[in-house]
Amino acid sequence: MYDEAFMRRAIEISAEALATPGTEPFGAVIVRDGKIVGEGINRSLMNHDPTSHGETEAIRDACRNLGSVDLRGCDLYSSCEPCPLCVAAMNIAGIATLYYAADMGQAGTALGDLPEAARFPVDVGRMTRECGRAVTDRDMPAEQHMDAEAFAILTDWAATARGRL
């Protein structure tokens, strides 16, 4: 169930970018059982990491704090509608519900006229289209090599994991 206090915290985190070099104004919190278990701000520039979005940083923080990669039952509050990368991370982690403030259109309006050097060159529409395509149908060329070797390791690891269950 939506709680305005958690959205206010996500927006407050995003505002830290106004005074923190290397961050961008995208904040997120993860909530479980009415308590914040993870927080994050976009640190892509600071960390030289294009995956260091507010949502992914909040997921990493929550996983560390909970000692688990399973965030089922957690909700994520974001200051801005998440990109496909972050949505994928939320699905992998098991986030139950997403609540967001600004949408992609609002973000585009606010950030769209920045000089190229001042913004990360992401075409969210293209990223959304590419993520939904099979690897062989994407614009980015992809080639498969050494699949038998990789498959053998996957099979061996799965057998070991089954033995631990």
How far is the first Cα of the chain from the last one, in angstroms, to the nearest whole number?
34
Residues designated catalytic:
55
Neighbours of 2 (CB within 10 A): 9
Sheet holding 75-80, edge to edge: 35-42, 24-32, 75-80, 97-102
Please name which of 64, 86, 62, 83 lies closest in space to residue 74, comparing C-alpha atoms: 62
| CA neighbor of 76 nearest in space, from 33, 39, 37, 31 | 31
CA distances in angstroms from 19 to 22, 46, 93, 134, 141, listed in the order given = 10, 13, 30, 41, 40
